[in-house]
Amino acid sequence: MVFSLPDGFSPVWRPRSAIACARRVRDNATYLMSKLPRDPSDDEAPGVPIFRTWRGVYLFVAACFAAMVIALTVFTRFYA
Amino acid sequence: MNALDWFVLLGTMIGIAAYGTWRTRHTDNLNTYLKGNRSTKWGTIGISVMATQASTITYLSLPGQAYENGIAFIQNYFGLPLALIVVCAVFLPIYRKLGVYTAYEYLGQRFDQKTRLLGAALFLLQRGIQAGITIYAPAIILATVLGWRLDLTIIFTGLLAIVYTVTGGSAAVNLTQRWQVAVIFGGMITAFVVLLVKLPPDSAYLAGAMGKLQAVDFTPNLKLRYTFWSGVLGGFFLSLSYFGTDQSQVQRYIGGAALREGRLGLMFNALFKIPMQFFIVMLGALLFVFYQFRPDTPLIFNQTEWQRQVQGPQGETFRALDAKHRELHTDKQAKIRAWVAARDTGDATAEASARTALVTAQKASEAVRKEARATLEKASPDAKKTRDSDYVFITFILTQLPHGAIGLLIAVMFASALSSKAGELNALGTTSTIDIWRAFRPLAAADEPRNVRNAKWFTALWGLFAIGFALFVSFAENLIEALNTVASIFYPALLGVFVVAFFFKRVGGSAVFSAAIAAQAVVVAIFAYGKFFPKHEIGYLWLNPIGCAACVIFSLVLQAMLGGGSAPAAGERTSGPPVPTTA
């Protein structure tokens, strides 16, 4: 199986700035994911109450992590 | 330990192993053997991931680490939730879609056979060493404290893990880990409750006053081992390597009924890992307070070795150190009482003054401990094999817990050893079969019974290797730090290869292969330089982002030098045996 390059992809990788570099990495990842065989379970809802998308679950976990760091910082200050 | 303790210990251990062996005795399907039962739900996956990561070292060594250095180690886990989100969003869907058995199969599809072999070899090397450490670590401490023979303890633990892992493969590992985690949590909560009951009021304030409750440190210093920055950045890369590219973890979550189950299992860990580790380090910090109030707090917790020296030819030196310690400990207790009294009056100046005196007394006490450790290590080379802090929690268990609970806590140590060992052996056997043996026997890929037979043989061989390694090894680091240091040396280059595979489509196999070797050399050089010149040593967590970045940069530079040849995209095979699709 051989994939053709999408529009806008040059054969040699030459980022001109950090933003361009980040965009290129993101586009490559998106392209790579789009070329993989589709798995129906990708579209599955997380099946968790409140959350309708996986993005929501990830944001919730990230928010919980931030809350834990804040709580530990407060804990450190309180007992210092 | 009395008869009740032995009954609880042997009943728990042999019962769980026999249950796993019995329930999975007919596992002869390659998919089930290597990936586990297809109906596995997220709860089992989540617990399996947690049990594989947390070995006996976590439960035995981490409280001792917190006893000695406070709870700052918790920052080591700060990168973990973020890394798990990346694994869920990027790594897991790709592994599932390609239907691979191992993470390194993906490298073969994305790059070429040599890069796949390099990835598998790096994994086998570091995981093989770690399998030896995880079997050796609890064995040496339990053998010393309980008076058992070290070699027999290592062999018994190793063989027990081999039996049910070889019999039932991944399905048996998942099944037994649920019960092992139940024993672990039950035992740790029992120990925590007993400790809380024995502690005086305001213990947490005392731990804080003595500098043991500094959970977060924002100091931007590369030389400090545990800071917020090293935890978030270094810990992120370490966790990303571990959960995303280490087969012992990948194997735990690529099975399961659907992608959703693996994702939820990982998110379960992202949410609960930090609270769980916080609970364990707090146990260590409170143990520190507990021993401040005990009149008989030992100078050295490895009492077996210490008493041997006290009775030996240099006994006078050791008895003098003991006497000095008792004097300083009594003085410190008086300072603690003075601090508590000053605190109760609410006079901030008096409290600050009492606290300064207390910290000074603690420093004097620590200096004697350090001197005692050095004297002991000089007199007895055996004492160098472990750190004294690793004996703190086990000493508490054996001297303060009621009978029955002692057996349960020793069972915790063995259950955690078996659960992590089984996960490791399972992954080592799988990688050896799929990535190494099949690479040289491509025609055998379709012969399922032969694959299962070989996976069983490789699992047993790695188990025997781990036992052999454990019988001939010794460590100077605290055990949990030894594990993380080994991982930080071997993971970064491997993670770099995966990062290039996922995000830099134009880079081909030859460039990334050479870049990975160069990045590995850079990491080893930085680590060795730090050991030879301790003044320039950086915290080991920083090796992770450095090695990963080096691999990515070298890959891009080499690819630019080699020319812009089109690299195969994911899903495009270049070599190697056909991969059965299971997704």
Residue with tokens 């545990």: B226
Interface of B with A in 271-290 (CB under 8 A): 271, 274-275, 278
* Per-residue pLDDT at A9 exceeds 50: no
Q: What is the mean pLDDT of residues A28-45?
A: 58
Q: In b/e form, how buried is each residue of B402-412, taking b as 16+ CB within 10 angstroms?
A: eeebbbbbbbb
CA A38 to chain centroid:
18
Confidence (pLDDT) at B449: 79
| Whole-structure pTM value | 0.79
pLDDT value of residue A19:
66
Interface test with A, best of B87, B100, B216, B343 (most A CBs within 10 A): B216
Asked if A76's CB is within 8 angstroms of B213's CB, the reply is: yes
Is the pLDDT confidence value at B24 over 80? no
CA distance B268 to B135: 27
Q: Count other Cβ atoms within 10 Å, centred on residue A79.
A: 19
pLDDT of residue B87: 93
Q: What is the pLDDT, as a whole number, of residue B522?
A: 93
Buried b (16+ CB within 10 A) or exposed e, B440-467: eeeeebeeeeebbebbbebbbbbbebbb
Cα separations (Å) of B62 from B70, B289, B545?
10, 16, 24
Measuring CA to CA, which residue among B111, B138, B154 is closest to residue B497? B111
What pLDDT sits at residue B521?
A: 93
The span from the CA of B113 to the CA of B105, in Å, is 9
pLDDT digits (tens, 9 = 90+) for B179-222: 778 888 888 889 899 999 999 888 888 888 888 899 898 988 77
- Please tell me which residue of chain B has the smallest CA distance to A44: B260
- Contact across the interface for B216 and A69, Cβ inside 8 Å: yes
In the 3-class helix/strand/coil scheme, how is B529-564 assigned residue by residue? Answer: HHHHCHHHCCCHHHHHHHHHHHHHHHHHHHHHHHCC
Contact state of A68 with B275 under an 8 Å Cβ cutoff:
yes
Determine whether the interchain pair B93/A72 forms a contact, defined as Cβ–Cβ distance below 8 Å.
Answer: no
Give the C-alpha separation, B515 to B52, whole Å: 30
User: For residues B98 and B565, which has the higher predicted lDDT (pLDDT)?
Assistant: B98
- Residue A30, SS3? helix
CB-nearest partner of B97 from A36, A57, A76: A36
Write out the two tokens for B147: 């008076």
SS3 B420: helix
Which of the residue ranges B445-454, B470-479, B517-526 would you say has the lowest mean pLDDT?
Answer: B470-479
Whether residue B369 has pLDDT greater than 80: yes
pLDDT of residue A43: 57
The rounded mean pLDDT for chain B is: 83
pLDDT of B420 > 90? The answer is no
Q: Which residues are paired to A48 by β-bridges?
A: A51
Predicted ipTM? 0.79
Residue B347, token pair as written in the block: 């006079």
**Residue B102 contacts residue B455 (beta carbons within 8 Å):** no
Does B23 score more than 80 pLDDT? no
A29/B90 CB distance under 8 A: yes
Task: Please identify which residue in the block is written with the tokens 């005795």.
Answer: B25
Query: Cβ of A76 under 8 Å from any chain B Cβ?
Result: yes
Inter-chain touch A13–B205, beta carbons under 8 Å = no
Residues 546-565 of B with CB under 8 A from A: 556, 559-560, 564
pLDDT in tens, B566-578: 444 444 444 333 3
Please state the length of chain B.
583
Residue located via tokens 């010149």: B533
- Span B117-162, pLDDT tens digits: 999 998 898 888 888 887 887 787 778 777 888 888 888 888 888 8
Q: Does residue B61 have a pLDDT over 70?
A: yes
Per-residue confidence (pLDDT) for residue B86, from 0 to 100:
92
A14-30 pLDDT per residue, tens = 555 666 766 666 666 56
Burial class (CB in 10 A: 0-12, 13-18, 19+), A48: middle
Chain A residue at shortest CA distance from B213: A76
> What is the spatial distance between Cα B175 and Cα B166, in angstroms, rounded to a whole number?
14
Contacts of B227 in chain A (CB under 8 A): none
Contacts of B360 (CB under 8 A, 6+ apart): none
Q: In the numeric block, which tokens belong to residue A75? A: 């804990």
**Would you tell me which residues 1-40 of chain A have a C-beta closer than 8 angstroms to some C-beta of chain B?**
1-3, 5, 11-13, 25, 28-29, 31-33, 35-39
Q: What is the pLDDT of residues B274-327, one digit of tens each?
A: 999 999 999 999 999 999 988 888 888 888 888 888 888 888 888 998 899 999
Candidates B78, B89, B506; nearest CB to A58: B89
B572 vs A3: CB contact, 8 Å cut-off?
yes
Give start and end residues of each alpha helix (H) in B295-404: 303-310, 315-345, 348-379, 392-400
Q: Are the beta carbons of B439 and B112 closer than 8 angstroms?
A: no
Could you identify the residue written with the tokens 């030389």?
B223
- Of the candidates B278, B236, B237, the residue with the CA atom closest to the CA atom of residue B78: B236
Residues B467/B430, Cβ–Cβ less than 8 Å: no
A72 to chain B, any CB pair closer than 8 A? The answer is yes
Interface of B with A in 224-243 (CB under 8 A): 228
Average pLDDT over residues B88-104: 87
Q: Are B502 and A32 in contact (CB under 8 A)?
A: yes
Q: What pLDDT is attached to residue B570?
A: 45
Residues in Cβ contact with B340 at an 8 Å cutoff, skipping those fewer than 6 apart = B202, B206
Residue B181: what pLDDT?
80
Flag whether pLDDT at B342 surpasses 60: yes
- Cα(B109)–Cα(B100) distance, integer angstroms: 10
What angle in degrees, to the nearest 10, is found between the helix axes of B448-471 and B405-431? 130
% of chain B residues with pLDDT over 90: 18
d(C-alpha B506, C-alpha A24), whole Å: 11
Which residue does chain A place closest to B556, by CA atoms? A13
Burial class (CB in 10 A: 0-12, 13-18, 19+), A72: buried
Instruction: Give me the mean pLDDT over the A49-77 stretch.
Output: 91
Q: Where are the alpha helices (DSSP H) in B254-302?
A: 259-293
The Cα–Cα gap between B282 and B74 comes to: 10
Structure tokens belonging to residue B564: 């812009």
pLDDT at position B569 is 46
**Given pLDDT bands bounded at 50, 70 and 90, which one contains residue A2?**
very low
pLDDT at B552: 93
Closest-CA residue of chain B to A64: B271
> Which residue would you say has higher pLDDT here, B168 or B393?
B393
Q: Residues of B with CB below 8 A from A57's CB?
A: 263, 267
- Nearest C-alpha in B relative to A27: B503
* Residue in B329, B297, B328 with CA at minimum distance from that of residue B396: B297
pLDDT of A7 above 50: no
